[in-house]
Structure 1
Amino acid sequence: MAVSHSARLGEAALELALQMVAGGAPVRVAAGAGIDGQGAPILGTDAVAVAAAIDELATDCAGVLVLMDLGSAVLSAELALELRASDVPVRLTSAPFVEGLLAAVVSAAAGGSLDTVADEARAALTAKTAQVADDAAEPEEPIEPPARGEAETRRVRVRNPLGIHARPAALIADTAAGVDVRLRRLPDGPEAAAASLSRLLVLGARQGDELELLATDAGAAVVLDRLEALFRDGFGEGTDDAAAVTDDPAGAGAAPAADASEPAPVAAEPAPVAADRVPVAAEPAPVAADRVPVAADPVPVAAGTVLRGRGVSAGRAVAPVAHLAPPLAEPDLRTVIAPADRESEADAVASAAQRAADRLRGRAERASGETRAILEATRLLAADPELVAGAAALVRAQGRSAARAVWEAAAAQEADLAALGGRTAERAADLRDVRNRIIAEIVGVDMPGVPELDEPFVLVAADLAPADAATLAGGRCAGLLTEQGGPTSHTAIIARSLGLPAVVGVAGATRVPDGAVVLLDGETGTVEVEPPAPRIAEAAMRIAKAAVAPLAFGGTGALADGHRIALLANVGGAADAVAAASARAEGVGLFRTEFCFLDRATPPVVDEQVAAYRGVLAAFPDRRVVVRTLDAGSDKPLPFANDDDEENPALGVRGLRVARRSPQLLDNQLRALALAADAESARVEVMAPMVATVDEARDFAQRCRSAGLTRVGVMIETPAAAVMASALFEVVDFVSIGTNDLTQYTMAADRLHGELGDLNDPWQPAVLRLIAGVGEAGRTAGKPVGVCGEAAGDPSLAPLLIGLGATSLSMTHRALGRVADALARVDSTDCRRAADAVLGAATADEAREAAAAAVAG
C-alpha cells in the first residue's frame, strides 16, 4: 500500500503503477488528511486511514508492503501497525515512493513474495542512478538478476523465408505485450527485448537461425507458447520443415540446456544505446535518397519538356507541382544541455514519440486495407521503446539535445539494419521517416512530407515513404510523379486504391520547378511540363467532365462493328464482387481465392470456403464467374500451403504445384467450389494457376470434373504454357492469360523489382508474340482466350489484345468504362491491323507506336 501526504500524488502514482501490468495488483492508497471547510485537500497523513487500508488488503493478501513518501508518513505508518486489526505480516520499506510503487506493483503482479516485492521496491532507483550517473548510493541489498534456470525459456527456429523482418517483429511485439520477454540469437548472437520492433530487426535472425526465448514475468509460459506457435507457423508467411527439423530443437519436451549458475540477461527496461555505438558525424549526414530536396540539382526541367515514365494508375491530372517537403536539418551536435535540465529534455523524447505515434494511429483508424496496415507498421516503429530509451540515455549521459539524441539513436539502429542487407535493410527508410516525425514534434515544426495545400497539386518526389503515400487520402493531391518506384511500389498501390493518376520511374522528376503546371497522364506514362495554354484548357475540361460524369460501363462490351467482347472484373472476395456488380461488370474473369485466406495459419475447412465463395457467386446470378484455385506462393505465401524455404519462390512450389505435396488441399477446394456453385445460380468455371505442362492440365481437369465442376481451364502464365497452348486446348475448355506473370517469366525480371519496370512491360515484343500464339491456338480450337492481367485494364492495349486473339478482358472494376470506350472506337479490322503491326516490332516503344498508328488508320 502507498502512504502519501497528497491524495493527488498517491492516486497518480497508483495510476502510473497499474498501467505497468495487464492484470493489476492489490494496492490501496492512504493519502491526505481530509478536506477543509472550502473543500480543498489537506496535506498530511492519517494513521487510522493507513490501518484501515492494511486491514482491507489483509483479507486477500498474505502480506502487506507499505511505501511512504516522507516525514510524518513514516510516523503514521508505524502507528498504524499498532492500530490495525489484522495479523498478516506488514513490511515498512525505505524504497522511493513513485519508483518503488511501480517496481512493487510489477513484482506483485508477477506473484512475488513479500520479501521479493520489498527487494524490488528498494532497488527501484538502480536504473535511474545508472542512467543519470550521479553519486547516489547503491541499494543496501542489490537485486541479483534471476538465474537462467529460474526463467521460462524456449528454443525456436526461424522457419519463414524472409526471417524476422518488420511484420514478424510486429507480431512478436504484440504477442509479448505486458510480459518481459527477451530473444537471443544462438549460439552467441545479440539479444533484444520483444517489445522493441527495431531491436528485433537488428537481431538479424534469418531462416534456419535458432533463437532462445526467455521470460520471467507472470504469464510467461502462455506468452512463450504463443510465440512458439508464431515461429512454428512461420508468422503466416510459410515455413521450412527441413530447416525446422523439430518443434523442440533442444530435445523432446525439454527446455534448452543451460548453466543454472549463469545469470540470465533479463533487463528491467530496454537497454540504452551504448555511447560507443552512436555514430556521431563530424559533418551533416547525407540526405536519404527518398527525401532529396529540389535544390540538390540546380538544373530545372525546361518548359515544354515531355517526361516519360511508367503509368501505374490511370487518369489525368493538370495542376501545379508541389514537391515533397525536404527533410529536417540535422540537429546541431554542438548543443549541450545543462545537467539540471537533462531530465526534462529526456522526457521530451518520450512525449514527442508518443505524439508521433498517436498521429499515425489516428490516420490508421481513418484508413482501411493496405493503407491502414502500412500506417500501423509505421506507428509501431514510432512507439519503439528502445529507440526512445536510447535517445533518452544520450540526453542524460552526454547532454545531447532531445532532437539530436533521436537523430543519433535512429542512426545507430539504421546502421544495424543496413548491415543486415536484403529486405531488412529496406526498413531503414521507414526508420528515417519515424525519426523525422519525432524530431518534428520535438522542435515544433510541420512534418516533412506531403504538403497541406488548399488548391489541387501534383506531388513530386524521388519516391514516397509508406506513411507519406498513405496520408494522401482526403487531401488536395491530384496526381503523383516520382523518379523511382515500380508497379508494385507503395506509391503505385496506394495511388490505384485512391484513384489518383500516377507516373513513376521518371528521370528528372524532382527537377521540375515547384509551382510549374504539369499535365500528367497515368495511362500513357507521360508528363508535359508547362504545356501550352490550349493544352491545359483542353485537359482541364476533359478532367472536369470525367469528374462530373466518369466513363461508365453500360454492361455490354463490344467493338464498333458490334463484335462482342466480354468485359469482366477481377475480384478477391465478396466486397470486391459487390463493387464489380455495381459497376455492371459482365461477370468475373478472375476470382483470386487465396485473397480470402491470406491471414490464415491453418487451412480453411470446406464449410468456411463454401461461405466465402458463395459471397462472390451471389453477386453475379446467372453470369460467368471464373474461379482461380489457390495461387499460393511467391508474393502470396500461405502458411498452410507453402512451408518451404526456396531460393527463388517465384520459380518454386506455387500455384497448382502445391497440389503435388498437398493434394487434399486442392480436392477440398474443388469440393467447396462445387457446393457453392450448387447453392448459387452463377455459372462457375475453374482454372488452375502456374501450369507448365499438358500433364498438369489433364490431371487438374480430371480432378475438377470428378468434383462435379464441368467448365475447366488453365492460366497461361509461363512461356511453356504459351508455347504448348494448342496441346492444352485438347484437355481444357478455356485459357486465361495472366500478363503480369507471363511478362516476368518471359523477360526473366522479377515483377516486384521496381528497377526492372522497363522489362516488366506487357508491350515487350516477346510477350506480345507469345500472346499471339495463344490467341491463334484458341481460334483454331474454337475455344475462349481471356486476359486477366494488368494489361487487360489498359485502354491502349485492349484493342491490340483483341486483335491478338483475346475473347474477353478482366480487370479492376474502375477500368471497365475506359476500356469499353476504347473498344467502342475500333472495329475488328482495326484490332487485327494493330496485331499484325506489333508482331514486327523490335522494342516495346516500337510496338506502342505501331499499334497506335494502326488503330488510327
Structure 2
Amino acid sequence: MTSVGIVAVSHSAPLAKAALALAGEMVREGTGPRVLAAAGTADGGTGTDAAVIADAIAEADSGDGVVVLTDLGSAIMSAELALEFIDPELAARVRVVPAPFVEGLLAAVVRAAGGAALDEVAREASGALRPKIEQLGGDAAAATASAPAAGDVAGATGPSTGGAGPAPSADAVASATVRNVAGLHARPAAVIAGAVASFDAEVTLAREDSPQRAPVSAASPIGIATLAAAPGVSVLIAATGTQATEAVEHVRALIEEGFGEELVGEASATPTSDAAAPAPRTTDPTPTGPIGVSAGRVVGPAVVLRRTVREPSADERVPDDARDGAVSLVREASIRVTEQYRERASAVEGQRRTVIEATADMAGDATLVGGVEALIRGEGLTPTRAVWQTAAELVEQYRAAGGLIAERATDLIDVRNRLIAALRGDEPPGVPARREPFILVADDLAPADTVTLDPAVCLALVTEQGGPTSHTAIIARELGLPAVVGYADARSIRDGDLLLVDGDSGEVVVRPDQAAQATATGVITLPPFEGPGQTRNGHRVLLGANVGAPRDVARAVERGAEGVGLFRTEFCFLDRETEPSLDEQVAAYREVFDGFPGQRVVVRTLDAGSDKPLPFLTNDDEPNPALGVRGLRTARRHPEVLDRQLAAIARAAEGSRAEVWVMAPMVATAEEARDFVARARAAGLTTVGVMIETPAAGLTAVEVMREVDFVSLGTNDLAQYTMAADRQAGDLADLANPWQPALLRIIGLIGEASRETGGTPVGVCGEAAADPELACVLVGLGVTSLSMAARAITRVGGRLADVDLDACRRAADAALAAADPTEAKAAARAALG
C-alpha cells in the first residue's frame, strides 16, 4: 500500500492547524497519512516561506510522493519556489494541486488514508468541490471540467472551478477580485497596461464568471476595459515568459488593492455572473435632465465646440500592394497623436494630467491599432475608414459596459477624431482659440478638450452628455468652473448666444433678459475686489486667495486678493521621483511671497498622501489612504522631509516683504500641533498654526489653540471626515454638502474655542469660503478670514459688505438649528435678508 504525504501551505498557522484537525477527524486514529502544515512566518506572523515548505515536503515524503495544497495568492508562488529548493527526484513526485484548501485537504487525507497512489490523491483533492456544488444545486461538471488531471503537470496551479481558464501553456496564473467601486475602467486599465510592460511576460486577463469571453491582453487598456469587470467580479490572470510569476502577482496585487480608489465594502464584493447577477449601478452617460456638477452662476457668450471630422467612405479600397504602406501610415499617426496627448499632459498637473495620460495610452493601444491594421490588411479598408470602424466597435462595447467605462467612450471618440485628422493632414478638433471670456458648449468634452482650458477666459461648461463622475465634471471642479452636464438642448445653442449657467441647480438660460442676467454672481463684467473685506458695520474679515503654484499669483493680485489664505506647496513635489532640493523649494516659495508684499501668505506644508501619493514619501499599499499616513503624518516616517521644507520656507521668507505664516495639514491632536510648532519655530518661523480637518481636532479645538498662533479650517476634508463621505464620490455629494448642520456645529465649536482662548484667529480655506451666503454664516460662527478661488473674492466681499455682524450671527444660529442642508441654507438666507 502506498503512503502519500500531504503538505498544507497557508498564510495563517491557526487556519492550517484547524484544517488539519478537521481533516484528521475524517479518518480513524493512526490510519491517516503523514500530514504537515507549512504556515505563517517564523516570527508568528501572516505569510508563507518557501524554505519552510521545502522542509515540510521532504519530511512528508516516504517515497510515494507528496500532494501540496495552498490557500491563496503568494502561497502558490511559495510552493512553486519550494520545488526549486529540493532534490529534483523528490520534486518530480510532488503535485501542487488546484484544489480548495479545506475541502481539498479533507479529500486528500481520506483518499491517502485508503492507500491511493499519488495521482489518485491529487485528482480526488482537485474534485473536492463537487459534493458541495451538487448539494447547493450548482453544476458540478462545469466546476471540475477545467481542472487538469493531477498527474498531468507537477505543480499545476489552474483554477478548481469553472469559468475562463488560462491558456494550456500558461507559466503562472492567479485570480483577483475587483474591489474598487468603479471597476476596471480607463485609469486602472492604463495602470495595469503600464505595469505589465516592465515584465518579460505575456499577460492576459479573463472574467472567471464568463467562459464565453476570450481573454484579453493585459498590455491593452482598451481590451481590459471591454471586460466590463465591475466590483466583485473575479478576474483570472495568466502569463507566459521568464517573469510570468512576478507579472501575475503584480497585476493581482494591483487589482486586489483597488488602484488607490474607493473600495466597496465586504458585503458588496461577492462575485457576480453575467446571467444571474443584478446589474451594477451605473451612471447614465446621457442623463435625462441637466445636472449641475460644479458650483457657480455666470453669464457669458457661448462658444460651441463642433466635431467636424466627417465619416470616411466605406466604399474605397486599398490595393493589395499598397496595404503595407497604409498600415505604416496608421502606426505613424498613432505615434503622433500619442505624443500630442503627452505634450498636453506635461503642461498640467493633478487629475487633468492623469486623465490625459490615460487617453494617450488609448491612442497607442494595441487593441485599437491592431484592429485597424487587421481591417486594412484583411478587407482593404482605407486607414481612415479602418480607424472609424474599429473605434465604433470599441465605443459600442464601452457603452454596453455602463458606468464609468461608458463615460470614457467620449475619450475614445476623441482619439478616433485625432487619428483621422492626423491621417488627413488636418488640424485636430478641439476648443477654438478665444481671447475674450466665453462659455464652452459641446456634446461632451474629452480630456484633450478641457486640459488646456484657462479659467481666466472660460467662464463655464455646458455639455449635452456626461454625468457627475465624467471628465467634464472632474475637471470643472478642479478648475473652479461652473458646469452643467446632461443639457439636452446643447446642440441648439449657437456661437455668440448669451447664456446664463448655474452649476448648482443645473439651470441653463439661452439669451436671458436683463432681470435674469442680474441674478448671476459671476458675470463677465464683475470688477476686481476693492477691499478691505468687512461687514457693513466695519467688522474686519480678511479675504485671501487660494494659490496652488506661482502661476496663480497674477490672477489673485488682479482679482484684489488681500493676501494668500492657502498656499499649497505640493506643486514642488508632485510628479517627481525624488524630493526637490532646498534651493529649488526656496526659489519657488519666494516667487509667491514676492507677489504679496506687506500682505499675509499662509503656507501649508506638504499635504502628501491619499490622492497625492509621492514615491519617496508615501506607501502605495495603504488599505485606506484617506485615513492613513497623509499630511503631517508623513513626518512620523520621514521627519527630515518636513524639516527641510520648513527650513526652505523660512529662508524664502527672509528675503521677502510678505508676512509669512505656516501651517500643517491633517492634525488630529494637541500633541501633534505642539510638535509641529516646535519644529517650525526651530526653523525660524514665528507665526505657526495648524489646519483643522478632522472632527477630533474640532472637538478638542481649545487644547489645540493653546498650542498654536492660528488655525485654518479645511472644510472639504472636515466635511468628508465628519460625514464619512468621500468628497470625490458623486453618489455622496449630498452628504459632503458644506451646509450640513453637523459640519456647521463643529465649526461653531471651533469659533467658541477661539473666543475662549482670547481670540485665536480662525480661517477657512475650503470651498465653503467661496459661497457668499455661507461666508456670512462662517463669520457669524467666529471665522476671522476667508480664502477662496480668486474669481470668487468680489462676490463674497460684496455680500459681506451688505450685512452687519449681528445679521451674520443670526444667520449662523438659524443654520445651526436646521435639520438638513436645504433648511440650513434657506434659514440663513432669511436671516441675512
Q: Which of the five TM-score ranges fits, normalised by the shorter chain?
A: 0.5 to 0.7
Report the secondary structure of 2:472's partner residue.
helix
Of 821, 824, 830 in structure 1, the residue corresponding to residue 807 of structure 2 is 830
Report the secondary structure of 1:639's partner residue.
coil
Q: Report whether the alignment pairs 1:614 with 2:614.
A: no
Report the secondary structure of 2:791's partner residue.
helix
Residues 354 and 597 of structure 1, relative CA distance in 2, 3 Å threshold: closer
Paired residue for 1:79? none
1:398-477 to 2 correspondence within 5 Å?
Answer: 398-400=379-381, 402=383, 405-406=386-387, 409-410=390-391, 429-439=410-420, 459=440, 463-470=444-451
C-alpha distance after superposition, 1:334-383 (max 9, x if no partner) = 99877577556646644665675687689789x76676886566455335
Tell me if structure 1 keeps the 8 A contact 2:189–2:222: no
The 2-side partners of 1:290 and 1:355 are apart by 33
Tell me by how many angstroms 1:783 deviates. Answer: 0.7
C-alpha distance after superposition, 1:482-514 (max 9, x if no partner) = 477688864356547878x52336xx6225672
Residues 331 and 430 of structure 1, relative CA distance in 2, 3 Å threshold: farther
Compute the RMSD of aligned alpha carbons: 5.5
Report the secondary structure of 1:796's partner residue.
helix
Tell me if structure 1 keeps the 8 A contact 2:536–2:800: yes
The 1-side partners of 2:240 and 2:810 are apart by 66
Q: Report whether the alignment pairs 1:814 with 2:791.
A: yes
Tell me by how many angstroms 1:214 deviates. Answer: 8.7
Report the secondary structure of 1:708's partner residue.
coil
The 1-side partners of 2:579 and 2:678 are apart by 23
Q: Report whether the alignment pairs 1:510 with 2:493.
A: no
Tell me by how many angstroms 1:838 deviates. Answer: 0.9
The amino acid across from 1:720 in the alignment is A
The 2-side partners of 1:474 and 1:741 are apart by 24
Residues 485 and 687 of structure 1, relative CA distance in 2, 3 Å threshold: farther
Residues 484 and 692 of structure 1, relative CA distance in 2, 3 Å threshold: farther
The 2-side partners of 1:706 and 1:446 are apart by 57
Q: Report whether the alignment pairs 1:381 with 2:362.
A: yes
Tell me if structure 2 keeps the 8 A contact 1:291–1:463: no
Residues 317 and 838 of structure 1, relative CA distance in 2, 3 Å threshold: same
Q: Report whether the alignment pairs 1:787 with 2:764.
A: yes
Tell me by how many angstroms 1:814 deviates. Answer: 2.4
Of 691, 711, 721 in structure 2, the residue corresponding to residue 745 of structure 1 is 721
Tell me if structure 2 keeps the 8 A contact 1:519–1:536: no
Between stretches 452-461 and 791-800, larger displacement belongs to: 452-461
Paired residue for 1:270? none
Percent of pairs identical after alignment? 49
Q: Quick one: higher RCO (CA 8 Å, sep 6+), 1 or 2?
A: 1
The 2-side partners of 1:553 and 1:799 are apart by 17
Tell me by how many angstroms 1:774 deviates. Answer: 1.3
The 1-side partners of 2:823 and 2:185 are apart by 45
The 2-side partners of 1:455 and 1:661 are apart by 49
Of 292, 295, 303 in structure 2, the residue corresponding to residue 309 of structure 1 is 292
Using the size of structure 2 for normalisation, the TM-score is: 0.60
The 2-side partners of 1:485 and 1:569 are apart by 30
Report the secondary structure of 1:689's partner residue.
strand
1:126-525 to 2 correspondence within 5 Å?
Answer: 184-185=202-203, 292=286, 309-312=292-295, 314-317=296-299, 342=323, 346=327, 349-350=330-331, 353=334, 378-379=359-360, 381-384=362-365, 387-400=368-381, 402=383, 405-406=386-387, 409-410=390-391, 429-439=410-420, 459=440, 463-470=444-451, 479-482=460-463, 490-492=471-473, 494-495=475-476, 502-504=482-484, 509-510=487-488, 514-515=492-493, 519-522=499-502, 524-525=504-505
Q: Report whether the alignment pairs 1:657 with 2:633.
A: yes
Q: Report whether the alignment pairs 1:772 with 2:748.
A: yes
Tell me if structure 2 keeps the 8 A contact 1:551–1:818: no
Residues 608 and 536 of structure 1, relative CA distance in 2, 3 Å threshold: closer
Q: Report whether the alignment pairs 1:799 with 2:776.
A: yes
Tell me by how many angstroms 1:533 deviates. Answer: 4.1
Length, aligned pairs only: 616
Residues 467 and 845 of structure 1, relative CA distance in 2, 3 Å threshold: same
Tell me if structure 2 keeps the 8 A contact 1:567–1:585: yes
C-alpha distance after superposition, 1:548-589 (max 9, x if no partner) = xx3212242111111111111222233334543454422221
Paired residue for 1:599? 575
Report the secondary structure of 2:660's partner residue.
strand
Paired residue for 2:737? 761
Tell me by how many angstroms 1:167 deviates. Answer: 10
Where structure 1 has 5 or more consecutive residues not aligned to the other structure, the ranges are: 1-160, 216-226, 241-287, 302-306
Tell me if structure 1 keeps the 8 A contact 2:476–2:483: no
Tell me by how many angstroms 1:415 deviates. Answer: 9.6
Report the secondary structure of 1:317's partner residue.
strand
Using the size of structure 1 for normalisation, the TM-score is: 0.59
C-alpha distance after superposition, 1:681-736 (max 9, x if no partner) = 43332211111222222222233233333322211111222122122122222111
The 2-side partners of 1:729 and 1:202 are apart by 53
Residues 325 and 761 of structure 1, relative CA distance in 2, 3 Å threshold: farther
1:603-642 to 2 correspondence within 5 Å?
Answer: 603-642=579-618
Tell me by how many angstroms 1:534 deviates. Answer: 4.8
Residues 771 and 342 of structure 1, relative CA distance in 2, 3 Å threshold: same
Residues 485 and 801 of structure 1, relative CA distance in 2, 3 Å threshold: farther
The 1-side partners of 2:513 and 2:397 are apart by 52
Residues 488 and 715 of structure 1, relative CA distance in 2, 3 Å threshold: farther
Residues 641 and 392 of structure 1, relative CA distance in 2, 3 Å threshold: same
The 2-side partners of 1:210 and 1:700 are apart by 49
Report the secondary structure of 1:702's partner residue.
helix
Report the secondary structure of 1:480's partner residue.
strand
Between stretches 628-637 and 606-615, larger displacement belongs to: 606-615
The amino acid across from 1:504 in the alignment is V
Tell me if structure 2 keeps the 8 A contact 1:486–1:753: no
Report the secondary structure of 2:746's partner residue.
helix
Tell me if structure 2 keeps the 8 A contact 1:486–1:504: no
The 2-side partners of 1:308 and 1:386 are apart by 34
Residues 718 and 238 of structure 1, relative CA distance in 2, 3 Å threshold: same
Tell me if structure 1 keeps the 8 A contact 2:663–2:690: yes
